[in-house]
């Protein structure tokens, strides 16, 4: 009898880890992120030259490969082949959380489509850091990323957002900040609340809180450096039109079953009008319904 041939077990599929890295201060790398970056077989980085500074600081020896906007789709296929052999890969961007106004979305999409496990390793995010320190309502907010670079497109986009009742978060380049602030003043008004966070977690961190108008004065006085996050305060909710006596009577009558005179007193108290005026409307309604 010949020696039986046994098939080797298929390799266990690898995992893609989406790892957040510091946006400035290297101490903001989490313990878990550090462990993952050391344990995976490969790290796909937006810019390997930039990431080597982080790796050198923490003594991470894992091989690096570039994965940026212009090669992401092609590099995704290479990474998929690695995952299929049971190897694991970490995705990082230059700073913060991958795929948030950074490369990564296409790779994550392809890995999910191929049935691979994608695990987030959360950590620093410039948008969340700015929101946490803005001192503005942030129970509801919308992240808008970078505004269009061309003035006409930027103003048009801001006009669509002008009445938004959530805080709005934008990223902006330093050389466009003043132009963006002027467009915000034109579209949203100089008095709209605004926080500008510059160089978050870095040596020259600055968090300016005021209005669009005061931000223009502040940042117009000196050369602007560093990465920026803008947090625009929500637009004021539109005032509801005053309720008429008739509308209030109909509403109150739906809410509770009260005798006519008591109904009139309740509505008069709510609207701050004379009881006789409300009772006259009660009688008119009664006559119309009869």
- Distance between start and end Cα atoms, the chain: 105
What's the CA gap between 265 and 187, in Å, rounded?
Answer: 45
Going 124 to 126 to 127 to 128, the CA torsion angle's sign is positive
Pull the structure tokens for residue 59: 């003594």
If you average pLDDT over residues 120-146, what whole number do you get? 96
Hey, where are the domains in the chain? 15-124, 127-232, 245-289
Pull the structure tokens for residue 248: 């209030």
- Domain 127-232 class, CATH top level: alpha beta
The region of weakest confidence among 37-51, 66-80, 263-277 is 263-277
Going 197 to 198 to 204 to 206, the CA torsion angle's sign is negative
Share of the chain above pLDDT 90, in %: 73
pTM, full prediction: 0.77
pLDDT, tens digit, for every residue of 58-70?
999 999 999 998 9
Q: What is the DSSP string of 128-196?
A: HHHHHHH-S--SSEEEEEEPPSSHHHHHHHHHHHTT-SSEEEEEE-GGGHHHHHHHHHHHH-TTSEEEE
**Average pLDDT over all residues of the chain:** 90
Selected from 3.20.190.10, 3.40.1010.10, 3.40.50.300, 3.40.50.10190, the CATH number assigned to the domain covering 15-124 reads 3.40.1010.10
pLDDT, tens digit, for every residue of 140-159?
999 999 999 999 999 999 99
Report pLDDT for 222: 86
Sheet of 89-92, strands arranged across: 64-66, 42-45, 89-92, 15-19, 117-121
């Amino acid at each position: 009898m010949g020696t039986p041939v046994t098939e080797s077990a298929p390799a266990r599929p690898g995992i893609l880890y989406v790892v957040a890295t510091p946006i400035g201060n290297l101490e903001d790398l989490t313990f878990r992120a550090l462990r993952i970056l050391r344990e995976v077989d490969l790290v796909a980085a937006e810019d390997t030259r930039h990431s080597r500074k982080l790796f050198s600081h923490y003594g991470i020896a894992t091989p690096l490969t570039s994965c940026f906007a212009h090669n992401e789709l092609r590099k995704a296929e290479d990474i998929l082949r690695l995952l299929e052999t049971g190897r694991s890969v970490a995705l990082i961007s230059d700073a913060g959380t991958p795929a948030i106004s950074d490369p990564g979305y296409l790779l994550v999409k392809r890995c999910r489509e191929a049935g691979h496990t994608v695990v987030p390793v959360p950590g620093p995010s410039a948008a969340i850091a700015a929101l946490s320190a803005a001192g503005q309502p942030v129970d509801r907010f919308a992240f808008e990323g970078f505004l269009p670079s061309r003035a006409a497109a930027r103003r048009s986009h801001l006009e669509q957002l002008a009445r938004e009742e959530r805080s709005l978060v934008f990223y902006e380049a330093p050389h466009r900040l003043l132009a963006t602030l002027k467009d915000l003043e034109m579209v949203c008004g100089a008095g709209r609340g605004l926080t500008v966070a510059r160089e978050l977690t870095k040596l020259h961190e600055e968090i300016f809180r005021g209005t669009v108008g005061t931000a223009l004065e502040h940042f117009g006085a000196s050369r602007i450096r560093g990465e920026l996050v803008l947090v625009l305060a929500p637009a004021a909710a539109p005032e509801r039109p005053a309720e008429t006596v008739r509308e209030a009577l109909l509403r109150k009558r739906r809410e509770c079953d009260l005798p006519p005179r008591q109904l009139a007193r309740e509505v008069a108290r709510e609207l701050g009008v004379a009881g006789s005026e409300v009772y006259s409307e009660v009688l008119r309604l009664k006559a119309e319904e009869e």
